[in-house]
Amino acid sequence: MKNRIKVVQGLVKKDRLDAFLVFSTINIRYLTGFEGTAGLLLALRDKAILFVDSRYTLKAKKEARGVRIVTVSTGWLGLTNYFDALASHTGLRMGFEEEHLNYKSFRKLSLLLPGVRLCPYTGVIEKQRACKDKKEIAIIRKSIAITEKALVSVSHFIKPGISEKEIADRLEQCLRKQGARGSSFRTIVATPQNASSPHSEPGTKTIPSRGLVLVDIGCDYQGYSSDMTRLFLLNKMKPFEKKIVQIVAESKRKAIGAIREGRSAKDIDSIGRGAIEKAGFGKYFGHGLGHGIGLSVHEEPVISKGSETILKEGMVVTIEPGIYLPGRFGVRLEDVVLVTKKRGVKLTTLPDILKILD
């Protein structure tokens, strides 16, 4: 943790700042190990101070590393008291996370610290988080393993007449039984017609006697997320359904095969998207090809048309092409991939189609 803070302190020195303010609780956790839902981290050139309120003093002392803990008097709302605690740090040039500070709070901070020059930065810690160390990769692997076990254990429960919501609830229970804190996002279970919407909400729609049921699921294990999408097949696929599944699977295969350090995220998106466009279904694939995963289920890097990111060893990304045919059905297949110097290593192990009911 101390080394992670040193990276931020290196930026402070490099850009001739006096300090850097970290508002994101996820970024604070990444830098210090503190998992509270409120706090403020001040990284100075030679030390770091974590400001918490009395609810989190003991927790911070137990979890945080490489920082001095300072307790401030504050209620449930706002950052004002945290800002008051900064009042002694006058005349400083401070960097701050502009994407994690709303305008109202920025005005308060500016009024309370009139002698401080505030310098906005974007994505400083997020870019640092994008490359995972060995411990983080091991935790993500475990998060994926829990998710896969949940899918397998619930497979017998997926049958005609059961609702999407019943299946989603059962899956989330299984995640917790396997040791997860819970799901990393609301589990998606979508019958064929509902799957034509990429982020369908599980509802009362029941599983039909035939067709493809889409399940998008992930869990939170020790703060790290997993995210994968699989299909359940009830009886046999029709030729057209099989064609769509094959196109999406080929898109995923080509994209994963192209992943390695030094490739641009934009190129990976183009390769996966190109396979779908070549087959004539490009207009039915509207979202990005994938995203980074770690402490957040969606984080750097973004695998999309507009991404300028160059892939680096240690990045962990999803590859999730899809084809969504309005009013008919939708297919999405999603794997988690580790970027290495020479190739992409698929961390998910289950087959694309998990179950066939005769």
pLDDT in tens, 260-273: 999 999 999 999 99
By CB atoms closer than 10 A (0-12, 13-18, 19+), residue 286 is: exposed
Q: Looking at the structure, do residues 81 and 189 belong to the same domain, yes or no?
A: no
CA distance 35 to 295: 11
pTM (2 d.p.): 0.93
Counted domains in the chain: 2
pLDDT at 116: 84
Q: Is the pLDDT of residue 358 over 70?
A: no
Point out the domain boundary residue: 110, 129, 148.
129
pLDDT at 78: 54
Helix (H, G, I), strand (E, B) or coil at 310: strand
Q: What is the CATH number of the domain that holds 209?
A: 3.90.230.10
Q: Looking at the structure, do residues 30 and 81 belong to the same domain, yes or no?
A: yes
Specify whether the CB–CB gap between 95 and 53 falls below 8 A: no
Banded model confidence at residue 115, pLDDT cuts 50, 70, 90 = confident
pLDDT at 356: 57
Q: Looking at the structure, do residues 64 and 180 belong to the same domain, yes or no?
A: no
User: Can you point out the beta strands (E) in 31-139?
Assistant: 40-44, 48-53, 68-72, 93-97, 117-121
pLDDT at 77: 47
Q: What is the CATH number of the domain that holds 61?
A: 3.40.350.10
Whose tokens are 């998008």? That residue is 216
Banded model confidence at residue 112, pLDDT cuts 50, 70, 90 = confident
pLDDT at 74: 63
Q: Is the pLDDT of residue 95 over 80?
A: yes
Helices (H) and strands (E) in the chain, counts: 10, 20
**Of 112-116, 125-129, 161-165, 179-183, where does mean pLDDT reach its minimum?**
112-116
Point out the domain boundary residue: 103, 129, 155.
129
Q: Is the pLDDT of residue 341 over 90?
A: yes
Q: Is the pLDDT of residue 76 over 50?
A: no
Structural domain that includes position 351: 134-357
For the beta carbon of residue 45, count every other beta carbon within 10 angstroms.
13
Q: Looking at the structure, do residues 93 and 189 belong to the same domain, yes or no?
A: no
Q: Looking at the structure, do residues 193 and 322 belong to the same domain, yes or no?
A: yes
Sheet containing strand 182-183, edge to edge, reads: 182-183, 219-221, 224-225
Q: pLDDT: is 210 or 298 the higher one?
A: 298
Specify whether the CB–CB gap between 297 and 185 falls below 8 A: yes
Q: Looking at the structure, do residues 15 and 100 belong to the same domain, yes or no?
A: yes
Point out the domain boundary residue: 83, 100, 129.
129
CA distance 223 to 36: 12
CA distance 184 to 180: 9
The average confidence (pLDDT) of the chain is 92
Q: Looking at the structure, do residues 159 and 253 belong to the same domain, yes or no?
A: yes
Q: Looking at the structure, do residues 203 and 282 belong to the same domain, yes or no?
A: yes
Residue type, 116: V
Banded model confidence at residue 81, pLDDT cuts 50, 70, 90 = low
pLDDT at 357: 54
Which of 51, 41, 58, 56 minimizes the C-alpha distance to 72? 51
Q: Is the pLDDT of residue 106 over 80?
A: yes
Q: pLDDT: is 81 or 120 the higher one?
A: 120
Q: Looking at the structure, do residues 55 and 152 belong to the same domain, yes or no?
A: no
Q: Looking at the structure, do residues 179 and 113 belong to the same domain, yes or no?
A: no
Q: Looking at the structure, do residues 186 and 335 belong to the same domain, yes or no?
A: yes
Specify whether the CB–CB gap between 292 and 316 falls below 8 A: yes
Q: Looking at the structure, do residues 118 and 181 belong to the same domain, yes or no?
A: no
Specify whether the CB–CB gap between 187 and 202 falls below 8 A: yes
Q: pLDDT: is 348 or 87 the higher one?
A: 348
**Of 48-52, 77-81, 243-247, 289-293, where does mean pLDDT reach its minimum?**
77-81
One-character DSSP codes across 325-337:
ETTTEEEE-BEEE
Overall size of the chain counted in residues? 358
Specify whether the CB–CB gap between 248 and 333 falls below 8 A: yes
